[in-house]
Structure 1
Amino acid sequence: MSLMDRYHVLVHDVSALFGYDYNDTTPDWVHPFIHLILVLAPGLLIGVALYLVLRGILRLWSRPAKPVARMNHVRGLDAGLFSSVLRYTRRQQAQMIMLSLLALPILYLTLELPKQIVNNALESATFPVEVLGQSLDQVIFLLLLCGLYLLSISLNGLIKYTLNVFKGYMAERFLRRFRLLIYRRWRSDAEASEQSEIVPILAQEVEPIGGFAAEVLTLPVLQGGTLFTILLFMFIQDPILGAAALTVLPIQLILLPKLQRRVNTLSRIRIKEVRDLGRQLSEQLRERQGASSGLSAAGASFKALEQVRRRIFRLKFFIKALNNFLTALTPFLFYSLGGYFVIEGRITLGALVAVLAAHKDFSAPLKELFRYYQALEDTRIRYQEITTFFAGTPPRMEEQQSAGVHRLAIRRPPEHALSQT
């Protein structure tokens, strides 16, 4: 048996595991779809996952140990972003995770009920039906299912609204604490207090960190759970269509992170350009330079900042366009292959409609997870830039002598300044 024959036997065996009789009577145009969905795409996905895991392990293994002195750039903040966020929001993060998990079974109901409406209330001919001992005709049964669907989407929206409001409150509270800690460090440092970069740091650069603090655990739990729930629903309707939803995922995992790393590099350059601009304007105010020389220096900074932001815009919108195109390829498989399965009688029309509706929701959490990765990298860069801002300006001697007292004061701040809500 040749290698190609063995490959075809493998495809037949995998197709049989998914409950599809893939044989010579199957139309020729279905064959490449089966090969792509059941063999090629899963193999590529497994390879990409192994590569990412090995790369992460190698990075952790080769990462040099951070010097202990870097832990105190801003007292009250840890060297890592995650540890600093969890240090002050651990209880609130646990509450939001529980609320996120509560939304997942309700989400599954919003996916299942439309299929029940199409199959059992519209296309079924077995009426009246018994529900909890009550005999219901077709119209009443339809209204009952529609009412349950309305209740499920209302509960789902209420949970998401409550979660978003909670996240906003927690983000603002962490942001206030973060600004106050940086401000205290700046005021206690004789050399740093003369640097004008503190203004954009406190006003602009800390804003994304506060927003990310509210999503550091909740977003991957909620959106990852949503993604898993939708995939589970699609696999229950038909395993092949569920596997088809993962066809373009390996390409997204390969291309999008590489493009995002280029955006991160440009974001770091943009932060430095903004700080340089603030330093130039501060020097002009102190030295009272002439209008022509000051305008020339400021114009050069404005132009450099514009060019960096243009490059960031081009890359960000290219990533968005590429992700939208790859996401739109999967419905093509659903309409063609899923429609053929409906004609064959393998799945019902209601199941296909439900899978299409579920995939429409499937792209949203996937985009949110990619956005989370982008925000994670960008926020981590901002956090490192802020914490290393004070690296070259050590605290004064009297502050070092009372470090233990100040550390306790920061961990238990005054009620009027850093009260927990």
Structure 2
Amino acid sequence: MFQLYAAIWRVSAGRQVVLIVLSIAIAALAAAPLEFQRNIINLLTKGGLDTAQLYLLGAGMMAVIGLSLGLKWLLGFRSGTLGEDVIRLIRQRLLTRAVDADESGEDVRRGTLTTAVSAEAEELGKFAGAAFSEPVVQIGTLISVIGYISSTQPGLGLIALSMILPQIAIVLISQRKVNVFVAERVRVLRAATDRLTAEQIEAVTREVTDRFDAIFETRRQMFLWKLSAKFLLSMINGAGTVAVLMLGGWLVLNGRTDVGTVVAATSGLARIQGPTAFLIAFYRQVSANRIKYELLLEIFGPAATRQRA
């Protein structure tokens, strides 16, 4: 994983810094709407409604939301553009290496090269655009929201935190198995495309068909692991929501907190489910792209090793 991130940093360090700064700003604003929401709910439930104050809170909340969305738009545009630039760079380098290998008399596996240029470069390039910024946004959002919930009601914050830890364990265990299937799928697909470039295509049709069957079985096993993990993660999220409502309701009934805090905590719980789900998916993406990156380096054997060094 370090080699993958080091390679991305080498070709896009300056632009990644800008994306990281934008990500930190977005994360810093994550909990602000929850505070406005809490104050609005408490204003409505306590009686003695002050219309001017209500409108002021509403305007402030909308301003924060608008600023956050504007920063997200800018982040998305810059990261998407960076990703496309990296895709172009990978394809150019693959073609250059192919020409060099051909001129030196090395064997160029055209099917593998075709797969790498068309599909693998696309996936790696898109990942490079968000490799640093997206984790910063999502981790920062988790810290911001859980910190806010804990500051208003520590018990509710503890529930929010306890939802994340078992999800991390589940993903780490399941992803190790999925990574094996990812590597196997790429190798089988490359082998199939290499055979399809042979002159006697009719002679290899059966062999290629068998490889397609192998890809199908590999994907089926991946679905089994991914969906099972997703089921467990969803159960944890559901249990966390119920726990917050039960504990929050008990605290309100006993006069130990207010309704606005419980509503804000419930909304905050929904807010952290998004970043948590993203980070889980992102970790899976990092793991898969690490394998694809290593496989990409294998295309030209020793030359790739020298380039990596």
Q: TM-score, normalised by structure 1?
A: 0.69
**Equivalent residues in 2 for 1:95-134 (5 A)?**
95-120=18-43, 122-125=44-47
Contact kept? 2:149, 2:156, Cα under 8 Å: yes
Q: What is the CA RMSD across the aligned residues, in angstroms?
A: 2.0
Query: Take 2:236 and 2:48, find their aligned partners in 1: how far apart are those partners?
Result: 42
Counterpart among 112, 132, 139 of residue 197 in structure 1:
112
Contact kept? 2:111, 2:195, Cα under 8 Å: no
- What is the percentage of aligned positions where both structures have the same residue? 24
Query: Take 2:190 and 2:113, find their aligned partners in 1: how far apart are those partners?
Result: 9
Contact kept? 2:141, 2:275, Cα under 8 Å: yes
Counterpart residue identity of residue 254, structure 1? A
Counterpart residue identity of residue 256, structure 1? V
Counterpart residue identity of residue 216, structure 1? A
1:207 aligns with 2:116: no
> Per the alignment, in what secondary structure is the counterpart of residue 246 of structure 1?
helix
**Equivalent residues in 2 for 1:228-243 (5 A)?**
228-243=143-158
User: C-alpha deviations, 1:154-212, integer Å up to 9, x for none?
Assistant: 11111111111111000000111111111111110022435331000100012221111
**Equivalent residues in 2 for 1:315-330 (5 A)?**
315-330=225-240
Query: Take 2:172 and 2:260, find their aligned partners in 1: how far apart are those partners?
Result: 36
Corresponding residue number in structure 2 for 1:281: 196
Distance 1:253 1:107, change over 3 A: closer
1:89 aligns with 2:4: no
| Structure 1 residue 361, shift from structure 2 partner | 0.4
Corresponding residue number in structure 2 for 1:45: none
Counterpart residue identity of residue 205, structure 1? E
1:369 aligns with 2:279: yes
Query: Take 1:211 and 1:317, find their aligned partners in 2: how far apart are those partners?
Result: 24
Structure with the largest fraction of helix: 2
Contact kept? 2:109, 2:194, Cα under 8 Å: no
Distance 1:89 1:150, change over 3 A: same
- Detail structure 1 runs of 4+ shifted over 4 Å in the superposition: none
**Equivalent residues in 2 for 1:163-182 (5 A)?**
163-182=75-94
Query: Take 1:194 and 1:91, find their aligned partners in 2: how far apart are those partners?
Result: 35
> Per the alignment, in what secondary structure is the counterpart of residue 111 of structure 2?
coil
Contact kept? 1:234, 1:241, Cα under 8 Å: yes
Query: Take 1:145 and 1:249, find their aligned partners in 2: how far apart are those partners?
Result: 31
Query: Take 2:47 and 2:207, find their aligned partners in 1: how far apart are those partners?
Result: 80
Corresponding residue number in structure 2 for 1:269: 184
Query: Take 2:213 and 2:263, find their aligned partners in 1: how far apart are those partners?
Result: 52
Query: Take 2:275 and 2:107, find their aligned partners in 1: how far apart are those partners?
Result: 42
Query: Take 1:315 and 1:362, find their aligned partners in 2: how far apart are those partners?
Result: 24
Query: Take 2:114 and 2:166, find their aligned partners in 1: how far apart are those partners?
Result: 42
User: C-alpha deviations, 1:241-263, integer Å up to 9, x for none?
Assistant: 10111223332222221101111
Gaps of 5+ in 1: 1-59, 61-78, 128-137, 396-402, 408-421
Counterpart among 258, 271, 296 of residue 173 in structure 2:
258
Query: Take 2:90 and 2:64, find their aligned partners in 1: how far apart are those partners?
Result: 38
Counterpart among 272, 292, 302 of residue 382 in structure 1:
292
1:309 aligns with 2:232: no
Contact kept? 1:252, 1:323, Cα under 8 Å: yes
Contact kept? 2:111, 2:194, Cα under 8 Å: yes
> Per the alignment, in what secondary structure is the counterpart of residue 279 of structure 1?
helix
> Per the alignment, in what secondary structure is the counterpart of residue 205 of structure 1?
helix
Counterpart residue identity of residue 150, structure 1? M
User: C-alpha deviations, 1:44-73, integer Å up to 9, x for none?
Assistant: xxxxxxxxxxxxxxxx9xxxxxxxxxxxxx
Counterpart among 256, 260, 265 of residue 355 in structure 1:
265
Distance 1:248 1:344, change over 3 A: same
Query: Take 2:28 and 2:183, find their aligned partners in 1: how far apart are those partners?
Result: 41
Query: Take 2:282 and 2:295, find their aligned partners in 1: how far apart are those partners?
Result: 20
Counterpart residue identity of residue 188, structure 1? D
Query: Take 1:163 and 1:144, find their aligned partners in 2: how far apart are those partners?
Result: 29
